[in-house]
Amino acid sequence: MSKIMSLDEYKDALAKKALSRRDVTKVLASVGVATVSMPVLHKPVLAEDGWLYLFTWNGYELPELHPAFAEKYGRQPDFSFYADNDEALEKIRAGFDADIVCPSSSTVIRWIHAGLIEPIDVSRLSNWPNLFPQLQQIRGTFDDDGNHYYAPWSWGNSSIVFRTDLAPEYAGQENHTWKILWDPKYAGRVAMRDNWAGTTIPAGLIAGVEDPFAMTDDEIAEVRRLLQEQRELNKFYWASETDAQTAIATGELVAMYAWNSAYAQLKEEGIPVEYMVPKEGLLTWVDGHVLTNRHIGTEEQRYDYLDATLSPETGVFMIEEYAYGAANKIAYDLADPEILASLGQTDPEAILAGSLWYETVPPDIQRKLVNLHDEVMAGM
């Protein structure tokens, strides 16, 4: 497996303005992509014959993630990049032109309500029948008439990676729980993520709230109490997953909030770790594509690109190089079995069936959770 920076970490660094243009160049160069001097956003050149234009995350533009498109057209789509889901939505709402955008599934309902996207005719996607049914039916990505607005592409988990030799009582799925991050026995040896959703949602799960994505004020108060308690045990809140991953490898940390890629890399290094499927809920995110109503490229280009991203070959690259899950179930028959085992993805259908899918948090509740996270980190 290549040592590419986790795309989650890359997204997070971009959102925090923690990557300079030089950093971006280094990361893209590590996977063979040359960058050119250009602004992060630019209007497409419409003098051409209506060429496909994408607005997406940095790292999702690699040719290996849509090989059939390049084979048919002999060139790549044009791309611009955003740092987070909110930026993508607001830029398109403000009039930025793009054919296709790649939001996370939890935000698609906002795009539908804003009237910015159009239904996808899935009958035109040859790879659609091979997608996992759970991904075809994500809540908030289709309407009451069954019209699909989302082509799911990659997915992954937010959970805990821990040292089985240092915390053996948590080994085995029957013992997996978010509560390891609240265990006084490991005070000063656990790490949470520096992100409001990375702290408040797990705390909500431990609190047993009815809906962690729509918490009441009383539930938020309990989450605050739990996070204040956890802060006294926390070694640090990580902004770079790599830093926390190194601390796990050395034994400085026993457990950390982590994505699949950290687990895979630690396993590859021979570190005795497990990736939890917590009894309170395994958090799962999905990235995929929506069709805007701007139509910069042709309709054929739009559907050819969507279908190319959903191919088994694309899925294999996503699994083996990015350590993420693929939407196309056939990709798992073609991927390296050792890599699948290292990722804990030998039974992807079971993972998806047992997942707690990220959903849109209402803006007023999100503001409260963001403030809560910031205040707890500040010792308030």
What's the pLDDT score for residue 49? 54
9-26 average pLDDT score: 42
Residues 38, 8, 373, 93, CA torsion sign = positive
CA distance 50 to 149: 23
8 Å CB contact between 134 and 143? no
The residues pairing with 256 across neighbouring beta strands, listed in sequence order, are 161, 191
Report pLDDT digits (tens) over 183-241: 999 999 999 999 899 999 999 999 999 999 999 999 999 999 999 999 999 999 998 88
The tokens describing 314, both together, are: 């694309």
The tokens describing 356, both together, are: 């707690």
Q: Distances from the Cα of 49 to the Cαs of 72, 144, 291, in angstroms?
A: 16, 36, 19
54-83 average pLDDT score: 94
Q: Which segments within the chain are labelled E, that is strand?
A: 53-57, 78-82, 100-101, 117-118, 151-163, 190-193, 234-238, 255-259, 273-275, 282-292, 325-326, 355-357
8 Å CB contact between 2 and 31? yes
Report pLDDT digits (tens) over 133-152: 999 999 889 988 889 999 99
- Give phi and psi for 79, each to the nearest 5: -130, 150
CA distance 165 to 155: 29
DSSP state of 131: B
DSSP state of 6: P
Report the chain's C-alpha Rg in angstroms: 21
Residue 6 predicted with pLDDT over 90: no
pLDDT-derived band at 86, boundaries 50, 70, 90: confident
CA angle 112, 114, 119 (to 5 degrees): 30
As a whole-number percent, the residues of the chain with pLDDT over 90 amount to 70
What's the pLDDT score for residue 355? 87
CA distance 1 to 292: 35
What's the pLDDT score for residue 259? 86
Q: Which residues contact 68 (CB under 8 A, 6 or more apart)?
A: 304, 307, 308, 311, 313
20-26 average pLDDT score: 35
Residue 12 predicted with pLDDT over 90: no
CA distance 180 to 163: 11
Residue 308 predicted with pLDDT over 50: yes
Q: Is 60 exposed, middle or buried (0-12, 13-18, 19+ CB in 10 A)?
A: buried
Q: How many residues are there in the chain? A: 380
**Number of DSSP helices (H) and strands (E) in the chain, helices first:** 16, 12
pLDDT-derived band at 279, boundaries 50, 70, 90: very high
What's the pLDDT score for residue 59? 85
8 Å CB contact between 24 and 61? no
Mean pLDDT of the chain: 87
Domains detected in the chain: 7-154+285-344 (3.40.190.10), 156-283+360-377 (3.40.190.10)
The tokens describing 201, both together, are: 């949602």
**Most confident residue range from 18-27, 214-223, 315-324:** 214-223
pTM value is 0.77
**Count of alpha carbons within 13 Å of 211, Cβ hemisphere only?**
10
